[in-house]
Every structure is written in structure tokens, then in C-alpha cells.
């Protein structure tokens, strides 16, 4: 294990370790305007949702590590405390990256990156027409985190109006996560996509407590074959299941038939089969195999 005291690192190396570790990060494509009416569009991956009531998102245009200068986006929100946050999906990614070039003050990155300006309903900065989710926000507060190169500036933005492309909605008007292809940033030049082929669900019953790994029978908890993810699923039931006499499973019966003469092999086969069931979300069946 490499252990590093951050005081020993140069700012650029510290930034490198942090950006690779705290990843993937969603991307806020921020449209802002200065008091002269000049429009700016830049991406920020130091960004997240921090409150839904009130609806507050935060992003951070940092002081440059290189020369400690500030970003136009920061200067703009201090002059005109409004921003449109446009979410970035895969079809927009290369143009979004282009918009991150450090063009001189007054350059409209909508034009440079080839995006279309669309008037917002209640704030002055325009929205990115091509983006499938746009959030019109007022900036409530800007919190500087330091004065050295690399210091972030938290922009606390309250969402006032939201726009969603019908293409990404289901019949009830809710977002279908599978229909979006959001992009997130990792360290260096790495990005990732969240689309139908990469996303998955982990069900978490909110009302009932899982029994916990500490409550699993020792033969399961200290299994040589079950993984942490397997134990996590098994321990998420709200009470230890009972053996179901009606449990009828062909593969389970075959394992019992072929391996009963050797208890170690039998245990391994049962655990491996339970694992297979867990991998397809069949937690109850997995429990029956392990209890049997
Ligand atoms: C995907 C992506 C994410 C970025 N995230 C940040 C960030 O969170 N904070 C930051 O200060 N710069 C970030 N940058 C760099 C800025 O976009 C870049 O410095 C830009 O030129 C700032 O523009 P401005 O001076 O017009 O505001 C990011 C760049 C890219 C491509």
C-alpha cells in the first residue's frame, strides 16, 4: 500500500492523485454571463447535487494550479449570480471538451464549440440546445476555499427551472436512466459513460434493516468462495431465512446427488452455485442453496 502525506506532494501531483481517486465525477456544463452581457460556456467536474429541498447543486471553478489565475465562469457568477447547468451526454462530449480551452475573456464558447444558444426562461445565460437536461439556477453563494493555485471556489446554485428532452422520459414523464448516456470525468484524460449497457440496479429496502454480515452463519461468512458482494447481498435480508421444504431446484439436487460423498467438494459446489444465483439477483434461491 502506497501511503502519502499530502504535505509531501507538489500541488499538481496532489491534484493528479485526487482526480484519479474521486471518480467518476458528473460534468456541469456551465453557461454564465458577465455584466456586459458576454456569454461563457465551460465544463466543471468538481460538481454534484447536495440538497433536493432546497434544490442546491455545487460546482467549483478552481484557481489554476499553473499560475493561480481564476476562471471566467467564477468572475461571471460574481458579477451576475445566475447559471444554466447543462448536463453532458456522450454525443456532446468532444464539443464540451473543446469548450474547455482557455479562450480569452469575451470569447463565446457556444460559438467556438459549435453549440446552439437557446434562451432560458428566467435567467440571462442561454441554455445549450443540444443538451437533454438543463437546469436554470440562481447563485446563492460563492465560497472560496483558499488563495493558492488549485484552491476551489464553491458555487452554490439553486435550481429554479428544469428542462428535460422528451426522448429521455418514460410514459409518466420521469427520467428513464437507460435512455440517457451521461458522461463523467475520471483522472487525466479518462472519461466514462453511464448508459443501458453499463448501468445496473442495487435494490436497497429503505424501511427494513439488513441482518448484517456479522449475523451470517459462520459457514457463509467465512466462505472461501463467496465474495464481499455476495455477502453484502445475503446480509441484506431483514431476517435469517428458514429452510423451505418446498425448494425445488434441479441443479441443486444434482449437486447434492454427485458431491454428498465428499463434504468439502459439496460445500464448494453449493457456494459456487449460490454465487451464480446471486449474480443474477436470485437472493432467496441462493439462501436456500446455502441453508440446504
Ligand atoms: C470535463 C472537464 C471538466 C473540468 N472540470 C473542471 C473543474 O471542476 N474545475 C475547474 O476549475 N476546471 C475544470 N475544467 C477546466 C475548465 O473547463 C477550463 O479551465 C475552462 O477553460 C474554464 O473556462 P472559463 O475560464 O471560461 O471559465 C474541466 C475541463 C473539462 C474538459
What separation in Å is there between the alpha carbon of 275 and the centre of ligand 1?
43
Mean pLDDT in order along the chain per 10 residues (292 residues):
97 96 98 98 98 98 94 98 98 98 96 98 98 98 96 98 98 97 98 97 82 97 98 95 94 96 96 97 96 90
Per-residue confidence (pLDDT) for residue 208, from 0 to 100: 87
Q: Which atom of ligand 1 is nearest to the CA of 97?
A: 31
What separation in Å is there between the alpha carbon of 283 and the centre of ligand 1?
44
User: Cβ < 6 Å from ligand 1: which residues?
Assistant: 27, 40, 42-46, 60-62, 71-73, 97, 100, 102, 185
Q: Which atom of ligand 1 is nearest to the CA of 64?
A: 11
Q: Distance (Å, rounded) from C-alpha 247 to C-alpha 273?
A: 15
Residue 157's H or E segment, with its range, is strand 153-164
Residue carrying C-alpha cell 447434492 = 256
The three three-digit cell numbers of residue 227, written as one number: 465474495
Q: Which atom of ligand 1 is nearest to the CA of 105?
A: 26
Per-residue confidence (pLDDT) for residue 205, from 0 to 100: 65
What separation in Å is there between the alpha carbon of 116 and the centre of ligand 1?
20
Pocket test for ligand 1, best of 19, 62, 71 (most atoms within 8 A of CB): 71
In the DSSP assignment, the letter for residue 207 is S
Per-residue confidence (pLDDT) for residue 203, from 0 to 100: 80
The three three-digit cell numbers of residue 54, written as one number: 432546497
Distances (CA, A) of 208 to 203, 205, 217, 240: 12, 6, 20, 13
Per-residue confidence (pLDDT) for residue 130, from 0 to 100: 98
Q: Which atom of ligand 1 is nearest to the CA of 43?
A: 17
In the DSSP assignment, the letter for residue 3 is -
Per-residue confidence (pLDDT) for residue 79, from 0 to 100: 98
102, 112 Cβ separation under 8 angstroms: no
Per-residue confidence (pLDDT) for residue 166, from 0 to 100: 98
Q: Distance (Å, rounded) from C-alpha 167 to C-alpha 5?
A: 48
CB-based burial, 204-235: b 16+ in 10 Å, e otherwise: eeeeeebbeeeebeeebeebeebeeebbebbb
Architecture of the domain delimited by 6-194: Roll (2.30)
Q: Distance (Å, rounded) from C-alpha 129 to C-alpha 147?
A: 35
The three three-digit cell numbers of residue 73, written as one number: 465562469
Residue nearest to atom 20 of ligand 1 (CA): 100
Helix, strand or coil, per DSSP, at residue 50: strand
In the DSSP assignment, the letter for residue 198 is T
What separation in Å is there between the alpha carbon of 199 and the centre of ligand 1?
26
Q: Distance (Å, rounded) from C-alpha 250 to C-alpha 17?
A: 50
List CB contacts of 92: < 8 A, sequence separation 6 or more. 29, 115, 128, 130, 131, 183
Per-residue confidence (pLDDT) for residue 179, from 0 to 100: 97
Q: What is the pTM of this model?
A: 0.92
Residue carrying C-alpha cell 474521486 = 22
Per-residue confidence (pLDDT) for residue 206, from 0 to 100: 65
**Closest CA relative to residue 44, chosen from 56, 69, 68, 62:** 62
Domain residue spans in the chain? 6-194, 213-291
Amino acid at each position: 500500500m502506497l501511503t502519502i502525506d499530502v504535505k509531501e506532494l507538489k500541488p499538481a501531483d496532489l491534484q493528479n492523485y485526487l482526480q484519479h481517486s474521486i471518480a467518476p465525477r458528473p460534468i456541469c456544463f456551465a453557461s454564465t454571463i458577465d455584466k456586459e452581457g458576454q456569454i461563457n460556456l465551460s465544463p466543471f467536474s468538481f460538481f454534484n447535487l447536495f440538497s433536493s429541498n432546497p434544490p442546491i447543486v455545487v460546482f467549483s471553478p478552481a484557481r489554476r494550479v499553473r499560475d493561480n489565475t481564476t476562471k471566467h465562469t467564477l468572475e461571471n457568477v460574481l458579477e451576475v449570480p445566475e447559471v444554466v447547468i447543462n448536463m453532458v451526454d456522450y454525443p456532446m462530449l468532444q464539443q464540451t471538451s473543446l469548450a474547455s480551452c482557455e479562450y480569452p475573456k469575451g470569447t463565446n464558447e457556444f460559438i467556438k464549440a459549435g453549440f446552439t444558444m437557446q434562451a432560458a426562461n428566467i435567467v440571462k445565460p442561454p441554455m445549450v440546445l443540444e443538451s437533454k437536461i438543463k437546469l436554470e439556477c440562481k447563485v446563492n453563494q460563492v465560497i472560496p476555499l483558499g488563495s493558492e493555485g488549485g484552491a476551489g471556489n464553491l458555487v452554490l446554485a439553486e435550481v429554479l427551472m428544469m428542462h428535460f428532452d422528451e426522448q429521455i422520459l418514460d410514459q409518466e414523464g420521469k427520467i428513464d436512466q437507460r435512455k440517457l448516456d451521461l458522461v463523467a470525468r475520471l483522472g487525466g484524460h479518462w472519461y466514462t459513460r453511464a448508459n443501458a449497457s453499463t448501468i445496473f440496479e442495487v435494490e436497497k429496502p429503505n424501511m427494513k434493516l439488513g441482518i448484517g454480515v456479522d449475523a451470517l452463519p459462520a459457514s457463509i461468512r467465512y466462505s472461501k468462495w463467496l465474495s464481499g458482494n455476495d455477502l453484502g447481498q445475503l446480509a441484506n435480508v431483514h431476517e435469517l431465512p428458514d429452510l423451505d421444504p418446498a425448494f425445488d431446484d434441479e441443479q441443486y439436487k444434482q449437486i447434492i446427488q454427485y458431491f454428498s460423498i465428499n463434504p468439502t467438494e459439496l460445500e464448494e459446489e453449493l457456494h459456487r452455485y449460490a454465487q451464480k444465483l446471486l449474480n443474477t439477483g436470485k437472493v432467496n434461491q441462493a439462501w436456500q442453496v446455502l441453508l440446504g
